[in-house]
Amino acid sequence: MKRCFDVMGAFFGLMFLAPLLVIVGLLVRFKLGSPVIFRQARPGCRGEPFQFLKFRSMTNARDAKGDLLPDAQRLTVFGKRLRTSSLDELPALWNVLKGEMSLVGPRPLLVRYLPLYNDRQARRHEVKPGVTGWAQIHGRNSISWEEKFELDVWYVDNQSFLLDLKILFMTLPAILMSRGIASAGHVTMPVFTGTPETTDE
């Protein structure tokens, strides 16, 4: 049922939002140049990598050595508006249609984070990543990595069709209110470096 719902949701979403996708794509091309679509390897179910798609929101500005500038310096006003509205996430519906993602699930993060998860945190990869998820409607990037992973694992343990509907229903007001777009002092989230092991004395 989940896969059927994903396919129908992604298909009709892409059909209904096609004019908006074209407009946003043209604006990205005009404001930021090419490529319009940002592609990056992200871990999917069981950690298998796939090419995650989203609208580009940063420039390719580089320093004198040819290295990309920090994200905060490459994120333009236009790019911030894209992220705040979550319009940059719309191309991920194609990932859903292809079966690489689900409409609802843990956020697909970076491949380099895979070896940094502890056993419990790694359970977030027992399901497909989602366009939206339990952590996204409970703080998104304003909560700590550890809180986010706990919410992801809670979703893995409690997933159901009704829960997915609830998350989708709660996503729209979260977007409209621009809740949790960034962590304090960061464009989105600080880099995840692993959770320190704690021992009982």
Write down the pLDDT at residue 75: 85
User: What tokens does 90 get?
Assistant: 């719309």
Write down the pLDDT at residue 72: 77
In this predicted structure, the answer to whether residue 123 has a pLDDT above a threshold of 70 is yes
Write down the pLDDT at residue 181: 59
Who wins on pLDDT, 200 or 21?
21
pLDDT tens-digit map of 130-178: 999 999 999 887 889 999 999 999 999 999 999 999 999 999 888 877 6
User: What tokens does 76 get?
Assistant: 């333009």
pLDDT tens-digit map of 30-75: 998 889 999 999 999 999 999 999 999 888 888 777 787 777 788 8
List the one residue out of 71, 82, 42, 75 whose CA is nearest residue 175: 82
Query: Domain limits of the chain?
Result: 2-176
- CA separation (Å) from 103 to 38, 62, 111, 115? 19, 35, 20, 26
Q: Name the CA dihedral angle for 128, 47, 94, 34, rounded to a multiple of 10 degrees.
A: 150
Q: Does the pTM exceed 0.75?
A: yes
- The band of 201, judged by pLDDT with boundaries at 50, 70 and 90, is very low
